[in-house]
Structure 1
Amino acid sequence: MLTLHTLSLALLAAATFGTLALCVQLVCVLRHAWDDAPPLPSLPEPRRSGISILKPLCGVDDDLEANLECFATLGDPVYEVILGVKDTRDPAYPVALAAVARWPDVMRLEMQHGEPGLNPKVNQLITLAAAARYDVLLISDSNTRVGPGYLEEISRAFEDPSVGCVSHPVSGVGEASLGSLMDNLYLCTTAAAGQIAAKRIAGQDLVVGKSMALRREVVEGLDGFYAVRNVLAEDFVIGQWVTRRMGLRAVVAHAPVYNVSQKKSVQTFFQRYVRWSIIHHTCIPTPLYLAQSTLNPLPWALLGAALSPSAWTLGLAGAVAGVKVLHDVLVFRAMRPGLKTPWMTLPAVLLKDALLFVAWAHGLGVRSVNWRGRSLRVRAGSRLVAPAAPVHVLPRPEVHVETPRAEQLLAG
C-alpha cells in the first residue's frame, strides 16, 4: 500500500535525480562557454553560395527596429533579408517599409500570398521561400539578434554535404520587466542549456526555430514549408524529417542567437509557456514528458517535504532550491557574457519555476491552444486542427392555424 511517507520519498528521490542532472548540465554549459568555436577551414574561391534570411513579422516586437538593423550589416557571405508581413494592417508593416527604405540593397518586403494552413508563421514562410534567391534558407525570428561570424559559421557548416539543417542555442537579453526576466531566464537555463547538454552528452542536436538554416534542396525534398502548414512545432518536426526521412544531419552551431525580451508581463510569460507545454507534450511520449519535469526539481522537493515534514526532508528541499538557483544564475551569466545579472534574478528563478510547473501540469491533459486570437486543437506531432464550425439551428417557423370561432371564444 502506497503511504504518504513512501510517496514523499519517491518525490524527493525524483527531485534529487533532477538536481544531479542539472549539475551535469551546468558543467556542459560552462565548458561550452569556455571553449572556442571550432576552427574554420580555409575556403577556395569562388565564395560560397548566398543565404536568404526569411524573417516573418507579426506585430511590433520589443525594439524591432534595432533587431532588424542587426541583420542589415552582417558582412560575408553574400545574403539577403526578406521581411514578411501578412497584410498592411499589421503594425509591423510600416516598420518593415522603413527598414527596406533604409537598407534597399539588403532587405526586401513580401506580402503573404493566401492562407494555406493554420500555422501563421509557416503561411508566411511559404511566401518568403518562393521569393528567396539563394540556396540556403535561414529562418530567423523577428525578435532575435546575432553576433559577428553568425552567417560565416552557418555557411561553413554546410560545406559538409551530410548537413541538412543548422540551428543555434538561444540566449535571452534585454529584460526591463519581471515577465521578460523570467522569459530570458527560461531561454538561457532551459532551452539553450538543454540544447548544449544534449549535444555534449548524447551527441544529439536539437533544432530550435529561432534560427534554423536549411538547404533549399532539403526544403524541396520535404515538399516545402507547405508540408508543415498545419503543424505548430514546425521546427521540431522539420528537424526530425531532415534526419529520419532524408538521412542528413541537423547540427547545433556554437554561437548563440539572442532573443530580445524587454517588457513582457508575467501573464504573457505564463500564457506563452502554457501553450508551449501543450505543444511539447504532443511531440514526445508521455513518460518522457513526465521524466523531463525532474529538471524543474524544486516543486517536487517541496511536495515531498510537505507530505512528510521533518528536519531532513525540509533540509533536502532547501538544498534543492539552493542548487537550482545557483544553476540558473551561473547558466544565465554564461550565456550572456558581458551582461549584468539583475538583483531580481534570484526571486525570479523561484517564481519562474513555480509558474512553469503549473504550465507543465496543464499540458498533461489539455490539447487546445489559443494562438493569435484563434482556438485550435493540437494533436500528436503538434498537428493543428481547427474546431468544427458551430451548427446554427434555424428557429422553427411559427405555424398559424385558423382556430374555429367557438374555440377562440372559449380561449378568450
Structure 2
Amino acid sequence: MTHALSLTLLTLAGIGAFVLGVQLFFVLRRQWSLAQAPAPVSSGRTPAGISILKPLCGVDDDLEANLACFATLGYPAYEVILGVKDARDPAYQVAQAAVARWPQVMRLELQHGEPGLNPKVNQLITLAGVARYDILLISDSNTRVEPDYLHEIARTFEDPDVGCISHPVSGIGEQTLGSLMDNLYQSTTTGAGQIAAKQAADQDIVVGKSMALRREVLEALGGFYSVRNVLAEDFVIGRWVTRGLGKRAVVARAPVYNVSQKKSVSAFFKRYLRWCIIHHSCIPTPLYLAQSLLNPLPYALLGAMLEPSLRALGVVAGVTVAKLIHDVAVFRALRPGQPTPAMTVPAVLLKDVLLFVAWANGLFARSVDWRGNKLRVMAGSRLVPPTSAPVQSLPGAETASGAKSESESDSNELLAG
C-alpha cells in the first residue's frame, strides 16, 4: 500500500514537472513573438473614452507612485475615478492629494450605500454610476502599467466582437521575503497561467486586477449590482461575457504589474489561504485537484518520505530543478528590466510549500476573512454571512426593485455551472 501510494505521488510529481515545461514553452514563445511583432496599428478612428475605476482600501505599498503612473498615460480621453468607502479610510487623504495634483484626470468618489457583501463591488457600483465613458476599466490600487496600456485597450475594442479585455499579471517591487513570494506567484502562476491557457487551449482566464468592459456588456449582465454578493466577480463577469453573450475575452499583450514591497510571509500565506477557498468555489473539485499538479514539489517530497530510495530522491531533485527553472525563467520573462533577487531560489521553494498547505485547506474550508469581513463562500464564490444557512447553488441576484432580471438569471446559471 505504501509503495503504491509513494509511486503514485512520484508519478504525479513527474507529470506536474512536464506540464510546467509546456507552460514555460508557451510563455517564452509568446514573449518572443511579441518582441518580434510590432504592436497593432489603430484604424485611425476617434479614440474611445475610457473610465478607469480604481477602488481603494487602505494604503497599499507605494500607493502614491501607483496612482501617479495612471495620471500620465498620454491617452487623449480618459479619467481615473478613485473610490473609498468613507473618509475614515487611510487611502482617502492619498486620493485627495492625487486629485489635487492631477485634477484634469482624477476624481474622488465616496461609496454610496452598501448594497452587497463584496466590498470591492460595492465601490464599483458607485464608480460605474458616475463614469463618463463607455469603456469601463477596473484597475486595482496596487498596480502599475506600461505607457501604451490604454491605447492597446482602445485598439482591441475596435473589434465589435470583443466584450472584455484582461491583462497578464506580473509582480514587482519586492523588499521582503513575503513580497518576493507574492510577486513570484503573480508572475509564475497567475500571469503564466493566463498566457498558457490562452495559447494552448484558447481558454480565457479573466483576472480583475485589470479588466476592461464595454458598458453595454456590463449592463447586459445587470451591472456590478448583479455580482454584489460574489467574491470572484471577475470570474463571474468573464464567464458571462464569453458564455452568456458569446463575446470574446482577450488577453492583452502587455502585463499589468502588481506592486508588492513589504508583505510579510504571514500576510502572504493568509492571502492565499483565502484565495484557494475562493478558487475552489469557482471550479469543479476534479479540476481543483488537477491544478495542484502545477505545484509538483510537495508531491515528490511526500512520495519520497513515504518510501525513501535513490529513485525517489532522484525524482525530488529533478522536480525541484524543473520548478526552479520554470519560476525563474517566467519571473524574468514577465518583468523585463527588473533584477532577480538573490533570495529567489529559496523563495520559490518556501512559496510552494505554503501554497500546498493553502491548497489543501481550500479543499475543505468555506469561510474567509476579507477586508475585515468574515464571510462564507459558497458555490460560484457566492458570499453569505457566516450565520446564514448553507446554500448549494447560486440563486439569481435581485435588482434594486426586488425583481430578478433575465440577464441576472442567465448569469447565475453560468455561475452555478
Query: Residue type of the partner of 1:34?
Result: W
Contact 1:147–1:257 under 8 Å retained in 2 = yes
Kindly report the root-mean-square deviation, in angstroms, between the aligned alpha carbons of the 2 structures.
Answer: 1.2
AA of the residue aligned to 2:43: L
Q: Hey, what does 2:312 align to over in structure 1?
A: 313
**How far apart are the structure 1 equivalents of 2:210 and 2:144?**
10
Measured in 2, the distance between the counterparts of 1:194 and 1:94 equals 36
Q: TM-score, normalised by structure 1?
A: 0.92
Q: Partners of 1:106 and 1:76 in 2: how far apart? A: 11
SS at match of 1:172: strand
Q: Structure 1 residues 322, 367: closer, same or farther in 2, change over 3 A? A: same
Q: Partner letter of residue 41 of structure 1?
A: V
Q: Which has the larger radius of gyration?
A: 1
2:53 equivalent to 1:33 = no
Aligned position for 2:157: 158
* C-alpha distance after superposition, 1:282-319 (max 9, x if no partner): 00000000010010000000111111111111111111
- The alpha carbon displacement at 1:244 in A equals 1.1
Within-5 A mapping of 1:239-388: 239-388=238-387
Cα distance, 1:387 vs. partner? 2.1
Q: Partners of 2:327 and 2:386 in 1: how far apart?
A: 39
> What amino acid sits opposite 2:139 in the alignment?
S
Alpha-carbon distance, 1:372 to partner: 1.5
Distance 2:215 2:103 in 1: 24
Distance 1:103 1:76, change over 3 A: same
Q: Indicate the residue corresponding to 2:101 in structure 1.
A: 102
**Which residue of structure 2 aligns with residue 113 of structure 1?**
112
2: CA distance between counterparts of 1:362 and 1:237?
23
Change (3 A) 1:235 1:42: closer
Task: Name the CA distance, whole Å, in 2 between partners of 1:331 and 1:349.
Answer: 12
Q: In structure 2, what is the equivalent of residue 218 of structure 1?
A: 217
- Normalising by structure 2, we get a TM-score of 0.91
- What's the secondary structure of 2:75's corresponding residue? coil
Q: Which runs of 5+ in 2 are unaligned?
A: 390-417
Give the secondary structure class of the aligned counterpart of 1:114: coil
Please tell me whether the aligned partners of residues 42 and 155 of structure 2 are also in contact (alpha carbons under 8 angstroms).
Answer: no
Instruction: Give 1:43 deviation, angstroms.
Output: 1.9
Corresponding residue for residue 126 of structure 1? 125
Deviations 1:162-207 (A, max 9, x none): 1000000000000000000000000000000000000110111210
1:42 positional shift:
3.6
1:205-237 residue CA offsets vs partner (Å, 9 max, x unmatched): 210001000000001111100000000000011
C-alpha deviation, 1:76, in angstroms: 1.9
Structure 1 contact 198–206 (Cα < 8 Å) conserved: yes
Greater mean deviation of Cα atoms: 73-82 or 83-92 = 73-82
Moved more, 179-188 or 369-378: 369-378
Deviation string for 1:299-357 (max 9, x for gaps)?
00011111111111111111101110111111111111111100100000000000000
Aligned length: 387
Letter aligned with residue 236 of structure 1 = F
Following superposition, the deviation at residue 5 of structure 1 comes to: 0.5
Distance 2:38 2:214 in 1: 21
Which whole-Å deviations, capped at 9, do the CAs of 1:342-378 have from their partners, x for residues lacking one? 0100000000000000000000001111112221110
User: 1:39 offset after TM fit, Å?
Assistant: 3.7
Deviation of 1:38 after TM superposition, in Å, equals 6.0
- Residue 138 of structure 2 corresponds to residue 139 of structure 1: yes
The 5 A counterparts of 1:184-223 are: 184-223=183-222
The AA in structure 2 aligned to 1:239 is G
CA contact 2:116–2:122 (8 Å) conserved in 1: yes
Note if contact 2:17-2:319 (Cα within 8 Å) is conserved in structure 1: yes
Shift of 1:29: 1.1
User: How far 1:78 moved relative to its partner?
Assistant: 1.2
CA distance in 2, matches of 1:185, 1:329: 9
Q: State the partner residue of 1:182.
A: 181
1:8 to 6, 14, 39: 6
For the Cα contact (< 8 Å) 1:77–1:152, is it kept in 2?
no
Q: Give 1:103's aligned amino acid.
A: W
2:194 maps to a residue whose letter is: Q
d(CA) in 2 for partners of 1:370 and 1:99?
30
Cα distance in structure 1, aligned partners of 2:206 and 2:26:
18
Taking the aligned partners of 2:327 and 2:47, their CA distance within structure 1 comes to 39
